[in-house]
Structure 1
Amino acid sequence: MATAIGAVERQARERRIFTGMAALVAVTVIGGFGSFALRGYVDVATVPWWVHVHALSLLAWTLLFLAQALLVAQRRTDLHRQLGWVGAGLACFLIPWGIATSILAVQMGRVPPFFPPGIFLVLGPLDMLAFGALTLAAILLRQRSDWHKRLILCGTIAMMEPAFGRILPMPLLGPWAGACATLMQLLYVGIAMRADAGLRGAVHPAYRWGLAVIAGRLLLVELLGRTAIVAGAAAALAAG
């Protein structure tokens, strides 16, 4: 009996942890982009329409991610599963659109001044691919809820670099700007890992995979983005 009560309490605590992480992600994304706009750094009238679509799709994912966590907390797993396929469809849109948005930004000279064009050219696509890989794994493992929810969380964190880029003082960080944003992503995964260890007595391997993918994305950005080939491709796009 005591064991059964302990299992129920652990499940309740786990639901609270994932709801809290989903809320933290939502506050970071919405707060980051919202505060950036409120500080006057966004001229909405001059922002291309495809950037608005990209931003709205990211917001939709963030809100859906939070809603899914709340549904599980309320034990509405039936609706959670139905909305899961909406999320899968949204992910299929997010990935190519996000990649195209990065390429168009380089082509139109909309690269932030603290990013070398080559770094920026690979940053967005690799963000989307990291998100896609972790989300696809989560979908394939949807019958194993312990893996599914942790991989979805890591996948969402994997594409939060733009949000942290609007919170951190990026121009002051110089060549370390991108790395600092990635470190914040790793910190969020670390928070979830710490909670996992406290709850389960060990960190679930899904978090190790998420951590490896996000860290590996940073390494690839630095290795590829500074090559002559990628820098030349970025220059060619900007020229024309």
Structure 2
Amino acid sequence: MKAILPRTNNANKRYLHSIIAGLILLLTFTGFAQSYYLKSVFGGDALSILLHIHGLVMTLWILLFMLQVLLIATRKQVLHRRVGLWGMSLGLLVMLIGIATAIDSARRAQAEPGGLSFLATSLGGLLVFFALITLGLIYRRQRDFHSRFMLLANLSIIAPAIARLPLDVIERGGLSLVFIIKDVCVLAFVLYDLANTRRLHPATAWASLLIIVSFPITRMIGALPIWIDIAKWLVS
């Protein structure tokens, strides 16, 4: 027998998702303003072609997510589905370009402490993201599952933007603080979903758990000698 989930307030859900999408867009711009969007103002070393492609693809993905949320909020479901089919191709491109960029960054940072270890976290985060958008595609006909998988997929990739926020507390806190902040954002959505439905939705439960445990697991993997050997082979 299928579990019967409580109905949610669709108006509140569309409103919340629009706010989250807007905040992700704002966070992305703020975090990458100095190093990418407003680089001509702040200066610094020129970006490689790969980084330009990565920045463009990620920007298109975040804008697509914002568009898709707005299409649902304005009840344009048919157009939302049509755009979504194209969007999955972009999601695959996000992962592939992300992998290439992560390996390139590790190649340039391999002489630094933890340079090769962090590659496990970078690649692990990309796999989590792609797993969630794939689940979103599989469950595209079940809106309650689809919307949660897609929203949490986008929350899963906000760590790089958080790490680049021009705040001293972020710089002092380091990598652990960045992922704690990301996890807090995920848990905030979990608590809202729980309060709104009176029952934790399985998509929210499993997706949020995957996001939260991925960081400590990939950190442990990154410290293994066998991973260092694999990472050296990847960057060679």
The question of a shared fold, defined as TM-score above 0.5 by the shorter chain, is answered with yes
Which is worse superposed, 94-103 or 221-230? 221-230
Provide the residue aligned with 1:78 in structure 2.
Answer: 78
Q: Deviations over 1:108-134 (max 9, x none)?
A: x15796x61122221221111000111
Provide the residue aligned with 2:57 in structure 1.
Answer: 57
Alignment partners' CA distance in 2, 1:54 and 1:112: 23
Alignment partners' CA distance in 2, 1:53 and 1:104: 13
| Contact 2:137/2:146 (<8 A) preserved | yes
Q: What letter is aligned with 1:23?
A: G
Alignment partners' CA distance in 1, 2:50 and 2:82: 28
Q: TM-score, normalised by structure 2?
A: 0.86
| Contact 2:190/2:208 (<8 A) preserved | no
| Contact 1:111/1:120 (<8 A) preserved | no
Mark the runs of 5 or more structure 2 residues left unpaired by the alignment: 1-6
The alpha carbon displacement at 1:51 in A equals 0.9
The alpha carbon displacement at 1:181 in A equals 1.8
The alpha carbon displacement at 1:179 in A equals 2.4
Mark the runs of 5 or more structure 1 residues left unpaired by the alignment: 1-6
Identity, in percent, stands at 25
| Contact 2:120/2:219 (<8 A) preserved | no
How many positions carry a matched residue from both structures?
A: 226
Matched, 1:155 2:153: yes
| 1:93–1:133 distance in 2 versus 1, CA, 3 Å | same
Q: What letter is aligned with 1:218?
A: F
Provide the residue aligned with 2:141 in structure 1.
Answer: 143
Matched, 1:164 2:155: no
| Contact 2:109/2:115 (<8 A) preserved | no
Give the secondary-structure state (helix, strand or coil) at the position aligned to 2:83. Answer: helix
Give the secondary-structure state (helix, strand or coil) at the position aligned to 2:9. Answer: helix
Q: Deviations over 1:137-183 (max 9, x none)?
A: 1110011100101000111111111111112645423xxx3222222
| Contact 1:102/1:125 (<8 A) preserved | yes
Q: What letter is aligned with 2:74?
A: Q
Provide the residue aligned with 1:18 in structure 2.
Answer: 17
Provide the residue aligned with 2:3 in structure 1.
Answer: none
| Contact 2:54/2:97 (<8 A) preserved | yes
CA-based RMSD of the aligned residues comes to 2.5
Alignment partners' CA distance in 2, 1:129 and 1:42: 33
